[in-house]
Amino acid sequence: MRVEDWAKASFALWMLSFEMATVVTLRCLMVAGGGGAADAEMRRMVSEKISAALQLQALALRGGLGSSLPAAIDRSARHYHRRVRANRRRLVGQQLRAKLT
């Protein structure tokens, strides 16, 4: 295995963890507000996590994670990063809309 492969996988994990921290913070703010929006967000979060895990498992069973450990780490991180990024964008938009109203 090449050092470059490990560096790529490490960077993918670092990027994922950075955006995950943002999403966790935004979700905590929303849940702390309580009400129907908080309940909906919690339900959405759980269903998204289950769906993402099942999709990753299917990808692994099809051989879509590559043939080396760094490739599997990189592709798994990218799989989750797409979903985390979408949540960050959605939650930031909700925060902005809430402040404008």
Nearest to 84 by CA among 40, 54, 60, 49: 49
Mean pLDDT score of the chain, rounded to an integer?
94
Domain coverage including residue 69: 3-17+26-100
Count of structural domains, the chain: 1
pLDDT tens for 44-67 read 999 999 999 999 999 999 999 999
Measured from the Cβ of residue 87, the count of other Cβ atoms closer than 10 Å reads: 21
pLDDT band for position 20 (cuts 50, 70, 90): very high
pLDDT band for position 42 (cuts 50, 70, 90): very high
pLDDT band for position 95 (cuts 50, 70, 90): confident
| pLDDT at residue 10 in the model | 95
Residues 6 or more apart whose Cβ sits within 8 Å of residue 20: 84
Name the DSSP letter for residue 101.
Answer: -
